[in-house]
Amino acid sequence: MNELLTYAGMVLMLIGGIFLFLGGLGIFRMPDTYNRLQAGTKATTLGGMSVILSIGLLEPSWFVKTLVLVIFIALSNPISSHALARANYKRGNRPYLKGGSEYDQYKEVYDPQEKPDKEEEKA
Amino acid sequence: MEKSSSGGKVTRFLFTWFLLFVVWLMFTSTFATQEVITGAAVSWLIAIPTNRFFTNVRLHHFSPLTLFYIVEYLFIFLWALLVANLDVARRVISPTLPINPGIVKFKTSLTSDFAKMILANSITLTPGTLSVDIIDDTFYIHWIDVKSLEPEECRQEIAGKFEKVLLKIF
Amino acid sequence: MLQIIIYITLGFMLFGIIFSTLRFIKGPTAADRTVALDTLTTISVALLVMISYISHRFIYVDIALVYGVLGFIGVLVIARYLEGAL
């Protein structure tokens, strides 16, 4: 039983390491901020989750605490990437488009002349 | 959104308190008496000012059937996360960067804010999509490989399987 | 066996950190740097948990959690600032 957990932990750890590396590589290679966010968020979320979970499997008495970390990462990473994407668009950085301007349907909402404060609800 | 009756307020407070207490128990990972009592007191104190902002979910949302759907959702989500990562890995490694990005929009039929947040988070972690903004019930999604510009087709393609389960939960 | 796997994983993480740091230095916009910072935070949290396992110190897991929370709040604050809402 214990050996089984160790092997599962090793496999998870290796997978996690590879995905963390791919996240870094994706951030380096992609052409604009939105695509960097895509690669960075997805790869590092799964990578971080599986590395942390693998430690929980290798050391079963830590399992519950590592589970808290895994849940926290799964909840917090998408939120921060969403906030960054919206902030980036509001600053005026338009996405890199291959197929022409009709591929950007978000344009209709955002008018650069308008003050962004107006549509903010009270935080 | 629901009317906040006084009974709703109480269950909302209890839900917040219960969630904070579970996090405390998991984090200390001990059942020593003084730890449990301190945790109950501290999470009670924190829940008093924060339960207004925290959630609209009440305890009466939870039934055995809901728990089953939540587990089903979790499995769909984990599978989508795995597919998404293999997809990203393929795009990052291949030397030509096969991407065709764009921002598409679609309308959702979910009404509760919490369900919308869950859906937006899931969309961010599924293959090739990243939620940029939610205005009322319109989602704006950055899609790394745009297949269609029609809102209805986008909805089917991006959110179809999550929305079906979420509509059953909320 | 476990030793080798740990070394390989640490190597992968090192290269991930190197590439994100390069993006952090290159920019070109503030949002790009923040994306790199977010990635670095997640990699560091995973690394802290690895270190706590290697040196057998349970307390480092707490530090990883606190660092994750602080990094998350930091990225949110930077995003709000870039939006012009702060």
Question: pLDDT tens, C33-79?
Answer: 888 998 999 999 999 999 999 998 888 888 988 999 999 999 999 98
> Taking 60 as the threshold, does the pLDDT of residue A120 lie above it?
no
Number of domains composing chain C: 1
Nearest to B101 by CA among A35, A73, C32: A35
Integer Cα distance of B22 and B31 in angstroms: 12
User: What value does the mean pLDDT take over residues B12-26?
Assistant: 84
A17, two tokens = 């390491």
Of C34, A45, A91, A70, nearest in space to B122 by CA: A45
Tens-place pLDDT, residues A25-70: 888 888 888 888 888 888 888 899 999 999 988 888 888 888 888 9
Instruction: Describe the crossing of helices C2-26 and A2-29 by its angle, rounded to 10 degrees.
Output: 20
Domain-wise residue ranges, chain A: 2-94
Interface mutation vs chain A, best among B104, B113, B124, most A CBs within 10 Å = B124
Arithmetic mean of pLDDT, A79-107: 76
Is any Cβ of chain B less than 8 angstroms from the Cβ of A14? no
What percentage of chain B reaches a pLDDT higher than 90?
0
Using the Cβ of A19 and the Cβ atoms of chain B, whether some distance falls under 8 Å is answered with: yes
Mean of pLDDT values over B64-84: 84
A26 contact B CB<8A: yes
Relative to beta strand B138-143, strand B102-107 is antiparallel
Segment B92-131, tens digit of pLDDT: 888 777 777 778 877 777 777 777 888 888 888 877 788 8
Q: Do B88 and A22 touch (CB under 8 A)?
A: yes
Domain span at residue C66? 2-83
- Rounded Cα–Cα distance for residues B63 and B73 (Å): 15
* For residues B77-89, average pLDDT: 85
> Between chains, do A29 and B130 touch, taking CB under 8 Å as contact?
no
User: In angstroms, rounded to a whole number, what is the distance separating the alpha carbons of residues B29 and C58?
Assistant: 12
Question: What pLDDT score was predicted for residue A123?
Answer: 43
Q: C-alpha dihedral over B12, B14, B20, B25, to 10 degrees? A: -150
Between A90 and B38, whose confidence is greater?
A: B38
Chains near A (3 or more Cβ pairs under 8 Å):
B, C
- Mean pLDDT across C5-23: 91
Hey, is the C-beta of A35 within 8 angstroms of any chain B C-beta? yes
Distance CA B75, CA B165 (A): 11
B124 in contact with chain A, both atoms CB, cutoff 8 A: yes
Other CB atoms within a 10 A radius of the CB of residue A55 amount to: 25
Compare C44 and B167 and report the one with higher pLDDT: C44
pLDDT value for C17: 92
Report the alpha-carbon distance of residue A24 to residue C14 in Å, rounded.
10
Task: State the pLDDT confidence band at A118, using cuts at 50, 70 and 90.
Answer: very low
- Search chain B and give the residue with CA nearest A95: B102
Chain A closest CA to C77's CA: distance in Å?
Answer: 9
C-beta atoms surrounding A108 within 10 Å: 9
pLDDT for res B3: 45
Query: How is residue A25 written in tokens?
Result: 């590589």
Range A97-117 average pLDDT: 61
- Mean pLDDT for chain A overall: 80
Using an 8 Å Cβ cutoff, are B84 and B138 in contact? no
Strand partners, B134: B139
Measured distance CA(C30)–CA(A33) in Å, rounded: 10
- The residue ranking higher by pLDDT, B144 or B57, is B144
| pLDDT score at A34 | 83
Nearest CB to A22: which of B23, B92, B142?
B92
Q: Does A95 touch chain C (CB under 8 A)?
A: no
Chain B CB contacts of A105 below 8 Å: 102-105, 140, 149
In angstroms, what CA-CA distances link C77 with B47, B50, C73? 24, 20, 6
